[in-house]
């Protein structure tokens, strides 16, 4: 939908275009207002579960009746100050404890921007921002190979491309397809295809199969594979780096330095017992959600040292990301312990970045910040932490850092020659 001009000749525009990729910023500009006029800017969207998210902010036009969100401050509302993408990251759900769900990846996120008379619901202009998750030429294919069931994203062109295994605790392909837009072959796997209460153990062999699938893919030219994951998936990614050949670069977002929740087996042998949870340590809040920051046992306690992942064995590189306001668990402490462990073993194959004010659920930028939603290990919603403005800034920085890290350590060389025999099924959403 192009910029709208109503009878009063007020114009609301999105630049450079009203159609963009999900992780790209837009400039929001209003023209045709009265000099110094107060108005309310609003944004709203509906996710794939029918939950509406919305935000609003009060702005004053300049002497020429114009408002530029990258120049002018919000005076009140969902945020204050100059925040050119504030209407997006400050959106809140219309009901408590909801996460922004986007499962129909081929359909863009449709965000309605509008400008209204201050103190009145009368709309002066509106425009729709079409935010694409999957770019032109990127393919999405369902993978079914022995035990590996996932979704493969490949960039346009013949390659060769660097490859990344994307591990998600629950089904979410957003990060995978956005990375594919940037020139990576990405295989997305879901850790929990069943309720966690029904899972008794996990097997690293399953994820090794996924690594080998990527290594043998005809469009992959990097000598090794990258892995990206968050939370529980972080310790799976670290274990892959420690035990499985060919893992060259791991991004661990708010992960633990020990194997958590389930025994981990590899080649029919227990390699890491689980670090236990004490659910009595959940802290209830007035909203009904719980804080789980202290639920995990201390990984450095003598009785838990067998759960620590021997990351010093890894031949690849690490990017550790930690949020200081993570209310799910103590990500900053776990990151510090991993850095100290690698240094103690004379290793310098790592980078670390810490984000003050950011919460657990760090994602690609410009989506609504989730403060609380259902927790896969609790019957109550979990508090994830983060102050919205700081969390949004962290996501912008982190997303750029991740791409730079993978490009540095996954340089594409030649095409793989052993293509294997994998069953691929095209899948539309």
Q: Does residue 231 have an active-site annotation?
A: yes
Q: Among 116, 317, 360, 375, which one carries the catalytic annotation? A: 360
pLDDT (0 to 100) of residue 120: 73
The closest of 178, 92, 171 to 368, measured between CA atoms, is 92
Would you tell me the crossing angle of helices 232-243 and 204-216 to the nearest 10 degrees? Answer: 70
**What confidence score (pLDDT) does residue 299 get?**
97
| Better-scored residue on pLDDT, 306 or 171 | 306
Q: Residue 269: exposed, middle, or buried by beta-carbon count in 10 A (0-12, 13-18, 19+)?
A: exposed
What DSSP assignment string belongs to 167-191?
A: EESSS--HHHHHHHHTT-EEEEEES
What pLDDT, on the 0 to 100 scale, is given for residue 2?
53
By DSSP bridging, strand 220-230 and strand 247-253 are: parallel
- For 6-54, the pLDDT digits (tens) are 446 999 999 999 999 999 999 999 999 999 999 999 999 999 999 999 9
- Count of beta carbons in the 10 Å neighbourhood of residue 352: 16
What the chain holds in terms of domains, given with CATH numbers, is 11-132 (2.60.40.2240), 139-410 (3.40.50.1820)
β pairing state of 202-203 and 264-266? parallel
pLDDT at 377 over 80: no
pTM of the model: 0.93
CA–CA dist 419, 248 (Å, integer): 20
- How do residues 130-158 score in pLDDT, each as one tens digit? 999 999 999 999 999 878 899 999 999 98
Residue 109 phi/psi, 5-degree rounding, is -80, 125
Q: Is the pLDDT of residue 193 over 90?
A: no
Catalytic residue (one of 78, 326, 330, 390): 326
Single out the catalytic residue among 55, 78, 168, 231.
231
Q: Is 326 a catalytic residue?
A: yes
Residue by residue, DSSP assigns 300-342 as TSGGGGGGB--GGG--SEEEEEEETT-SSS-HHHHHHHHHHHH
Helix (H, G, I), strand (E, B) or coil at 395: helix
- What does the pLDDT average to over 272-294? 94
| pLDDT tens, position by position, 226-241 | 999 999 999 999 999 9
**In whole angstroms, what separates CA 322 from the centre of its chain?**
13
Q: Which of 1-15, 348-362, 368-382 has the highest mean pLDDT?
A: 348-362
DSSP label of 390: H
pLDDT band at 411 (very low <50, low <70, confident <90, very high): confident
């Amino acid at each position: 939908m192009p910029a709208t001009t109503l009878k009063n000749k007020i114009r609301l525009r999105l630049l450079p275009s009203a159609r963009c990729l999900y992780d790209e910023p837009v400039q929001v500009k209003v023209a045709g207002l009265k000099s110094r006029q107060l108005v309310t800017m609003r944004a709203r969207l509906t996710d794939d579960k029918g939950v509406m998210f919305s935000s609003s902010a009060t702005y004053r036009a300049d002497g020429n009746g114009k408002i530029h969100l990258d120049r002018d401050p919000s005076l009140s509302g969902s945020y204050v100050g100059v925040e050119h993408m504030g209407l997006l990251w400050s959106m809140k759900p219309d009901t408590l404890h909801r996460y922004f769900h986007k499962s129909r990846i081929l359909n863009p996120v449709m965000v309605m921007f509008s400008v209204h008379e201050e103190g009145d619901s009368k709309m002066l202009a509106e425009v729709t921002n079409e935010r694409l998750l999957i770019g032109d030429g990127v393919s999405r294919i369902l993978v079914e190979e022995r035990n590996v069931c996932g979704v493969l994203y490949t960039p346009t062109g013949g390659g060769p491309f660097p490859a990344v295994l994307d591990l998600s605790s629950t089904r979410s392909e957003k990060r995978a397809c956005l990375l594919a837009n940037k020139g990576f072959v990405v295989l997305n796997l879901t850790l929990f295809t069943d309720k966690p209460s029904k899972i008794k153990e996990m097997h690293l062999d399953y994820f090794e199969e996924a690594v080998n699938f990527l290594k043998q893919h005809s469009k992959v030219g990097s000598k090794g594979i990258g892995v990206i994951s968050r939370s529980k998936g972080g310790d799976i990614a670290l274990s892959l780096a420690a035990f499985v050949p060919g893992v060259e670069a791991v991004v661990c977002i708010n992960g633990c330095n020990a194997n958590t929740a389930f025994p981990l087996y590899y080649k029919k042998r227990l390699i890491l017992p689980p670090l236990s949870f004490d659910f009595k340590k959940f802290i209830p809040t007035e909203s009904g959600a719980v804080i789980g920051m202290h639920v995990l046992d201390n990984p450095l306690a003598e009785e838990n040292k067998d759960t620590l992942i021997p990351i010093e064995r890894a031949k690849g590189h690490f990017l550790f990301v930690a949020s200081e306001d993570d209310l799910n668990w103590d990500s900053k402490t776990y990151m510090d312990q991993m850095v100290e462990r690698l240094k103690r073993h004379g290793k310098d194959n790592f980078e670390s970045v810490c984000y003050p004010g950011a919460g657990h659920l760090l994602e690609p930028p410009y989506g609504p910040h989730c403060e609380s939603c259902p927790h896969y290990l609790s019957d109550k919603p979990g508090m994830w932490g983060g102050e919205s403005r700081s969390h949004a800034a962290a996501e912008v920085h982190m997303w750029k850092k991740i791409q730079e890290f993978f490009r540095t350590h996954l340089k594409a060389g030649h095409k793989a020659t052993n293509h294997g025999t994998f069953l691929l099924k095209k899948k539309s959403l």
